[in-house]
Amino acid sequence: MIYIRLEPEGRTMHFPRLGTVLQLLRKLGLGNNAALIIRDGELLTPDRRLHAGDEVVVRTVTSRG
């Protein structure tokens, strides 16, 4: 299972399987440059692979006011 935390909403979700960061972004309906993808304090580019047990933060970057 791959665990996802969406920021700034604070919502959590999980996926049984995901290949890459790009697949995660597509599942969430996000463009490549719409969010920071953070795993263990490290930024991931869209080509990086995700693994079972990963805890990933998806932090959208569009500021609102």
Partner 1 sequence: MKCRKCKAVAAVALPSHNTAFCPDCYPVFVRSQVERAIHRHKMIAPGDRVLVAVSGGKDSLALTLLLHELGHDVHGLHVDLDIPNSSTDARAACEGFFAKLGLPLTVIELRREGLAIPLVKSRIKRPICSVCGKLKRYYFNKFALENDYPVLATGHNLDDEVSRLFANTIRWDHAYLSDQGPLLPAESGFARKIKPMYRLTEFEIANFSFLRGIDHVIAGCPYSGKASFPIYKGLWSGLEERMPGAKVQFYENFLREGRPVFAAWSDQQGQLPTPCTECGYPTSAERCGVCRIKAMVADDEK
- Burial string for 37-60 (b: 16+ CB within 10 Å, else e) reads bbbeeeebeeeeebeeebebbbee
- Under the criterion CB under 8 A, does residue 7 sit at the interface with partner 1? yes
Shortest distance (Å) from residue 18 CB to partner 1: 18
- Under the criterion CB under 8 A, does residue 32 sit at the interface with partner 1? yes
- Under the criterion CB under 8 A, does residue 13 sit at the interface with partner 1? no
Shortest distance (Å) from residue 13 CB to partner 1: 18
- Under the criterion CB under 8 A, does residue 51 sit at the interface with partner 1? no
Residues 6+ apart with CB under 8 A from 1: 14, 15, 16, 52, 53
Shortest distance (Å) from residue 63 CB to partner 1: 6
